[in-house]
Amino acid sequence: MVRDDRLKSIPGISRLSLCADCQRLLDHGMAKLLLCPYDPKPMCKRCTTHCYAPGYRERIREVMKFSGLYLIKHGRLDLIVHYYI
Protein backbone atom coordinates (compact mmCIF):
# COMPACT_ATOMS: atom_id res chain seq x y z
CA MET A 1 0.00 0.00 0.00
CA VAL A 2 1.05 3.56 -0.63
CA ARG A 3 1.59 5.47 2.56
CA ASP A 4 1.99 9.07 1.55
CA ASP A 5 0.79 12.27 3.20
CA ARG A 6 -0.20 13.65 -0.20
CA LEU A 7 -2.84 10.91 -0.49
CA LYS A 8 -4.57 12.14 2.66
CA SER A 9 -5.35 15.44 0.96
CA ILE A 10 -7.46 13.75 -1.75
CA PRO A 11 -11.14 14.27 -0.89
CA GLY A 12 -13.02 11.09 -0.09
CA ILE A 13 -10.09 8.68 -0.34
CA SER A 14 -10.26 7.76 3.34
CA ARG A 15 -13.97 6.85 3.07
CA LEU A 16 -13.59 4.39 0.18
CA SER A 17 -14.54 0.81 0.83
CA LEU A 18 -12.86 -1.30 -1.84
CA CYS A 19 -12.01 -4.95 -2.29
CA ALA A 20 -8.34 -5.94 -1.98
CA ASP A 21 -7.76 -6.02 -5.76
CA CYS A 22 -9.33 -2.61 -6.31
CA GLN A 23 -7.40 -1.17 -3.37
CA ARG A 24 -4.10 -2.45 -4.85
CA LEU A 25 -5.03 -0.98 -8.23
CA LEU A 26 -5.88 2.38 -6.63
CA ASP A 27 -2.64 2.39 -4.63
CA HIS A 28 -0.59 1.50 -7.71
CA GLY A 29 -2.32 4.19 -9.78
CA MET A 30 -1.85 6.86 -7.11
CA ALA A 31 1.82 5.94 -6.72
CA LYS A 32 2.36 6.23 -10.47
CA LEU A 33 0.48 9.53 -10.58
CA LEU A 34 2.56 10.99 -7.75
CA LEU A 35 5.81 9.79 -9.33
CA CYS A 36 4.99 11.01 -12.85
CA PRO A 37 7.93 13.06 -14.19
CA TYR A 38 5.73 15.10 -16.54
CA ASP A 39 4.09 18.35 -15.52
CA PRO A 40 1.32 18.65 -16.55
CA LYS A 41 0.66 14.94 -16.73
CA PRO A 42 -0.46 13.91 -20.23
CA MET A 43 -3.27 11.45 -20.83
CA CYS A 44 -1.97 7.89 -20.56
CA LYS A 45 -3.02 7.21 -24.14
CA ARG A 46 -0.71 9.98 -25.42
CA CYS A 47 2.15 9.48 -22.97
CA THR A 48 5.50 8.29 -24.32
CA THR A 49 6.45 6.56 -21.05
CA HIS A 50 4.28 3.61 -20.04
CA CYS A 51 4.56 3.56 -16.27
CA TYR A 52 2.03 0.83 -15.47
CA ALA A 53 3.14 -2.80 -15.38
CA PRO A 54 1.45 -4.91 -18.09
CA GLY A 55 -1.08 -6.53 -15.72
CA TYR A 56 -2.04 -3.21 -14.19
CA ARG A 57 -2.15 -1.51 -17.59
CA GLU A 58 -5.01 -3.73 -18.80
CA ARG A 59 -6.95 -3.23 -15.59
CA ILE A 60 -6.44 0.55 -15.70
CA ARG A 61 -7.71 0.57 -19.30
CA GLU A 62 -10.87 -1.25 -18.19
CA VAL A 63 -11.43 1.27 -15.39
CA MET A 64 -10.81 4.24 -17.68
CA LYS A 65 -13.15 2.85 -20.32
CA PHE A 66 -15.94 2.29 -17.80
CA SER A 67 -15.41 5.66 -16.11
CA GLY A 68 -15.31 7.60 -19.36
CA LEU A 69 -18.50 6.03 -20.67
CA TYR A 70 -20.19 6.46 -17.30
CA LEU A 71 -19.36 10.16 -17.10
CA ILE A 72 -20.43 10.83 -20.68
CA LYS A 73 -23.73 8.97 -20.18
CA HIS A 74 -24.41 11.05 -17.08
CA GLY A 75 -24.06 14.44 -18.74
CA ARG A 76 -20.36 15.28 -18.55
CA LEU A 77 -20.10 16.23 -22.22
CA ASP A 78 -17.23 18.62 -21.46
CA LEU A 79 -15.08 15.50 -21.12
CA ILE A 80 -15.51 14.76 -24.81
CA VAL A 81 -13.93 18.11 -25.59
CA HIS A 82 -11.09 17.41 -23.13
CA TYR A 83 -10.51 13.96 -24.63
CA TYR A 84 -10.08 15.20 -28.19
CA ILE A 85 -8.13 18.38 -27.45
DSSP state of 73: H
**Averaged pLDDT score across all residues of the chain:** 76
Report which of 22, 17, 51, 53 is spatially closest to residue 1, judged by C-alpha positions: 22
Gap between the Cα atoms of 22 and 65, Å rounded: 16
pLDDT at 85 exceeding the cut of 70? no
Report pLDDT for 64: 83
Report pLDDT for 14: 59
- The boundaries of the domain holding residue 56 are 5-84
By percentage, how much of the chain surpasses pLDDT 90?
0
Higher pLDDT, 61 or 6: 61
State the total domains in the chain. 1
